[in-house]
Amino acid sequence: MENSKTYKERIKRHTPKTNLKKTLPTAFLTGGALCALGELMAGAVRKMGVERADAYLTVTVTVIFIASLLTALGMFDKLAKYAGAGLSVPVSGFANSVTSSALDTRREGLVLGLGAGVFTVAGPVILYAVLSGTLFGIIYYILKMLGVA
């Protein structure tokens, strides 16, 4: 049986080395390009007479859809391998995670496969979003009652 120190050393030996001089600028430029594209899309939607908040919501939904579609087509991982965190960290990375987990379990059917697979990743996010929102709502309510907020 392998001890913890030996195991960590073996993991370190087999983990690919990251070239930060190459990956950091690429991630920065890719993330910046994605954000600039989002701003251009929001501007185009605003020119159609859509309110600012709704325009950004439209862009967010579009990015989620595109990321999910690219994941389903097997292209997201190839792009993310090049783009790194510039593509994976924003909402597109979350869409990729949710779509990937759903696709991994799709053979088990629509409900227990696809449906449950989506919540493998999204479930904890939703749970902690609701819990933290409730906690901050209670704190805000108490502060408002005390006249602080």
**pLDDT score, position 41:** 95
3-state secondary structure the chain: CCCHHHHHHHHHHHCCCCCHHHHHHHHHHHHHHHHHHHHHHHHHHHHCCCCHHHHHHHHHHHHHHHHHHHHHCCCHHHHHHHHCHHHHCCHHHHHHHHHHHHHHCHHHCHHHHHHHHHHHHHHHHHHHHHHHHHHHHHHHHHHHHCCCC
**pLDDT score, position 1:** 54
What are the tens digits of pLDDT across the range 35-79?
A: 999 999 999 999 999 999 999 999 999 999 999 999 999 999 999
Average pLDDT, the chain: 87
Domain boundaries, the chain: 21-104
Question: pTM of this prediction?
Answer: 0.70
